[in-house]
Amino acid sequence: MSVNEIRALAQAHLQEIEKEKAAEAQQQAKTEQDLQKYAKIRTKDRPRSGRTEEAAAASGVETFEEVVEGKGPKLRSAGDILDRLRWDPSIDLTNYTVSYLERFEGIKEIPASSWIRESTDEDFIPMHRIRNIKRTQADGQQELVWDRDSKIDLIFGSGGKVKENGPQ
């Protein structure tokens, strides 16, 4: 093999490497674009839409927003809400009621403190049947604090409809 043949072979190999690098960079750019389109990102430095920076900081909960333009943060699950009500010491669980869809009887309500999460229990109700969660105020009025259908979340402030001062 002559020097010119080796040089031509090296040139061809370098061109092949450059093509592979360009394809890899293009794939990386597409992956980043897809992540921005579909993934969620933490936005500690930016308040959720409709909330002041003070309210976001006072809630003590890190915010999430979808990157897709025009959408607010995704509605937190009923399980997340019940966990917050159960474990947050500043919240009295006895003031909350869970409304769920009973397959043959329609919407039923039970106290949040009676909600059973153990699937082996005879009275177990799956989380996906929860329709809304209400707080009973001192005057006996009930306030909707989480609703799946209308995407209201006054506990975490997800779903687009938020309250300035969080749970009481």
Q: How many CA atoms lie within 13 A of 84 on its CB side?
A: 21
The tokens describing 34, both together, are 């897809």
For 53-85, give one letter per residue: b (16+ CB within 10 A) or e.
eebbeebebebbbeeeeeebbebbebebbbebb
Residue with the larger pLDDT of the pair 165 and 143? 143
Question: What number is the average pLDDT over the span 153-166?
Answer: 69
How confident is residue 28, by pLDDT bands cut at 50, 70 and 90? Answer: confident
Residue with the larger pLDDT of the pair 67 and 22? 22
**% of residues, the chain, pLDDT over 90:** 39
How far is Cα 81 from Cα 93, in angstroms, rounded to an integer? 11
How far is Cα 63 from Cα 118, in angstroms, rounded to an integer? 29
pLDDT in tens, 68-101: 444 557 889 999 999 999 999 999 999 999 999 9
In order of 17, 76, 141, 166, the CA distances from 72 in angstroms are 43, 12, 29, 17
How far is Cα 136 from Cα 154, in angstroms, rounded to an integer? 14
Span of 19-23, 107-111, 164-168 with lowest mean pLDDT = 164-168
pLDDT score of 68:
40
Average pLDDT, the chain: 77
Contact 135/95 with Cβ under 8 angstroms? yes
How confident is residue 119, by pLDDT bands cut at 50, 70 and 90? Answer: low
How far is Cα 56 from Cα 60, in angstroms, rounded to an integer? 7
Phi, psi of 111 (to 5 degrees): -65, 140
pLDDT score of 100:
92
pLDDT score of 126:
86
